Amino acid sequence: MKLTQCSVIKKSSHNPLIKSSMIPFTSTLTYNAGITRYQDNYVMLFRNDYNYTKEDMLYRWGTSAFPQTKINLGLAVSDDGIKWRIKPEPVLPIPLTEEMFSVYDPRLTVIEGRCYLCFAADTRHGICGGIAVTDDLEKFELLSLSVPDNRNMVLFPEKINGMFVRLERPFPIYGRGVPEAFDIWISDSPDCKYWGNSRLLLGSEKVPFCNCKIGPAAPPVKTHAGWLTTFHAVWKHTDKELLSWHGGWNKEYFGGLMLLDLHDPSKIIGMYDKPLLVPEENYEIDGMRGSVIFPGGMILEDSGEVKIYYGAADTVECLATADVNDLIALCIGNKKSTGLKSMTRAKVLQEA
C-alpha cells in the first residue's frame, strides 16, 4: 500500500523543530510533544529518551545488554510556535517510583485558564493513562490514573454540557479477536478525577488506511463546524520492512482527521477517508522507528491557519500547517463516501 500526502498540508521548512542535538541535557530522542498556548506563550512539553544510544539500538536491542529505557520530559517556550527556547533542566511532572517508572507522550490542554497534562505511564502492572494539572508548568497535581491498559488520552479544551470530556485508547489484547485492533473511546467526568460514561467513538476497522490500531492524537480544536481532531492510524506492512535502528519494524503511522459534533462529541460528523499526514520526508522515514507520524498538538490561529505538531520517526518533533476551512472540507466533503462505512478488515487488506 502506498499513500501520498494530502495536498492541503504544508510541512514546515523549519522541520525538525526540535532534535536531540539542541537539547541542553542528555538526550537521544525528542518527540511526541504536547503543545498549547498558555499565558501568552506557545508551550511545549516533549518526550526525551536518553539512556541509550543509536549503537545500543543497533547492536543490543532485545538483549539483556540493552539499558533500561529512561524517559524524562523537556519544556520549551516560543513566541511564534516555530522557534523554541528549551529550558535547561528536564521536567518530571509526576514523581517516578519503583511501580511507575516512565511518564511519556504528554498532551497539553488549557481549560478555564488551567493547564492540564495527559500522559502515558509505564507501570510494573501495565500502561496507564494519567491526567495532572498545573498553574506554572513546574508543580503538577495528579488528578487521575486509569487502570491498565490505556494511553493516548486527550482532553477537550472546554467542558461540554458541564463535564470534562476526554478521548482515550484502551488496548484490549483478548477481547477484539484480532491482534492490536485498538480503538478510540470517549468518556466524561464532573471533576477530571472520576471518569465514566465511556463509549466507543471510532473503531479501527472504520479507518480505511488502518489494518491495526488507532488512537487519539492532538487535543481537539473548536471550529464553527465541530470539534476538529486528529488521530493516529497504523498500517502494518507484511511485504516490507521499514527503516529503524533496531530492525524488524513494519508499522507505518499516519495522521488522520475527523470532525465531532460540538454539543455531543461522541457523534462523528465526518472523517477524511485518506491520511492527512503521510510519512514522506527523510526526517519522517529515517529514524529510531521510521515512517511514524504521531500528532500531539494542534493550534488554531486567528488567521485560520492550523498548526499541527507531530513526532516524526520517534526521533524528532515537527510541524505541519493547513487552513482550517480546508481541513473541515476534507471531513465534511467525505461525509457520504467516508471511511465511516463499515469496512471489514479483510476488505481493507484486499483493497490496499
Quickly tell me which residue has 461540554 as its cell. Answer: 160
**Spatial distance between the Cα atoms of 299 and 221, rounded to a whole number of angstroms:** 7
Interacting residue with ligand BMA among 19, 34, 49, 105 (CB under 6 A): 105
**Spatial distance between the Cα atoms of 206 and 324, rounded to a whole number of angstroms:** 24
Name which of 229 and 244 has its Cβ closer to ligand BMA.
244
**Spatial distance between the Cα atoms of 56 and 195, rounded to a whole number of angstroms:** 40
**Spatial distance between the Cα atoms of 211 and 301, rounded to a whole number of angstroms:** 34
Name which of 276 and 330 has its Cβ closer to ligand BMA.
276
**Spatial distance between the Cα atoms of 117 and 339, rounded to a whole number of angstroms:** 31
Whether the CB-CB separation of 154 and 220 falls below 8 Å is answered with yes
Interacting residue with ligand BMA among 32, 102, 134, 229 (CB under 6 A): 32
Q: What's 206's DSSP letter? A: G
Interacting residue with ligand BMA among 149, 188, 314, 317 (CB under 6 A): 314
Q: What's 69's DSSP letter? A: P
For residue 51, how many other CB atoms are within 10 A of its CB? 14
Name which of 47 and 206 has its Cβ closer to ligand BMA.
47
Rg of the chain (C-alpha set): 19
Residue 46 sits in the site that holds ligand BMA (CB under 6 A): no
Name which of 184 and 225 has its Cβ closer to ligand BMA.
184
Q: Residue 276 CB, nearest distance to ligand BMA (Å)? A: 17
Q: Residue 311 CB, nearest distance to ligand BMA (Å)? A: 6
Fill in the per-residue mask, 177 to 206: x = in contact with ligand BMA (CB under 6 A), - = not in contact. Answer: ------------------------------
Quickly tell me which residue has 485492533 as its cell. Answer: 181
Contacts with ligand BMA in 258-297 (CB under 6 A)?
289, 292, 294
Name which of 181 and 340 has its Cβ closer to ligand BMA.
181
List interacting residues with ligand BMA (CB under 6 A).
Answer: 32, 105, 253, 289, 292, 294, 311, 314
